[in-house]
Amino acid sequence: MKRKKLKKEERENIYNKYNGRCAYCGSKIEYKDMQIDHVVPLRIGGKDEISNMLPSCRSCNHYKATLDIEGFRKYLSKIHDRLTRDSVAYRVAERFGIVEHKTDKVKFYFEICNDDGKIKTWKINDVQKLTPVEITKMSHCVGLDYKKPYERQGKKIL
Ligand SMILES: [Zn+2]
């Protein structure tokens, strides 16, 4: 399938959708390293249009591959099971408390941020339900980079 050739301005608009961060994991990405992901993959009928495109880091783009959003979420939510099954090193690390399994629940960065980079909904009760990773993502949404998000869990951070 022939893909739409993006103009520089269109590419920049996609990059800026999430303040230069991956729409899936929230990692900061350099403009030159940005990959453009088709939210609904072309292979399963997604449109080759800007509205179906999100900025992605190389790793998320690679992992998502031809999955749609829910397929990607499901894939990620089974990583812990796969590691436990396949990696002796991981099982040892978990037993010694070097790594800790926190959740299989996956929330994508774009679900926490709005297109304009502002927080989608903001209620103190919501923050109390967020994991430290989500709080870190949320602080990115408003352009802040907290070094110790854990300390702020459950507190108003804005
Ligand atoms: Zn990513």
Measured on CA atoms in the order 145, 8, 61, 122, is the torsion positive or negative?
Answer: positive
H-state helical runs in 17-157:
58-64, 69-77, 79-86, 88-95, 109-112, 124-129, 132-141
The distance from CA 68 to its chain's CA centroid, rounded to whole angstroms, is: 14
Residue pLDDT, tens place only, 1-32: 567 789 999 999 999 888 899 999 989 999 99
pLDDT confidence of residue 134: 72
Between the CA of 10 and the centroid of ligand 1 the distance, in Å, is 20
Q: Which CATH architecture has domain 8-66?
A: Orthogonal Bundle (1.10)
pLDDT at 17: 87
Residue type, 29: I
C-alpha 63 to ligand 1 mean position (Å): 9
CA atoms of 126 and 111, how far apart (whole Å): 13
Q: What is the pTM of this model?
A: 0.75
Cβ atoms of 21 and 28 within 8 Å: the answer is yes
CA 84 / ligand 1 centre spacing (Å): 23
What are the tens digits of pLDDT across the range 103-122? 898 989 888 876 555 555 44
pLDDT value at residue 150: 43
Domain chopping of the chain, boundaries: 8-66, 113-158
Q: Does the pLDDT value for residue 97 go beyond 70?
A: yes
Ligand 1 centroid to residue 120 C-alpha, Å: 19
For residue 110, how far is its CA from the centre of ligand 1 (angstroms)?
A: 11
Ligand 1 centroid–CA 126 distance in Å is 23
Q: What is the pLDDT of residues 65-95, one digit of tens each?
A: 889 999 999 999 999 999 999 999 999 999 9
pLDDT at 5: 87
Task: Give the C-alpha separation, 33 to 17, whole Å.
Answer: 15
Q: How far is the CA of 98 from the centre of ligand 1 (A)?
A: 24
Q: 57: pLDDT confidence band, cut at 50, 70 and 90?
A: very high
Which structure tokens are listed for 151? 């300390």
Per-residue pLDDT for 155 more than 50?
Answer: no
CA–CA gap between residue 126 and residue 82 (Å, rounded): 30
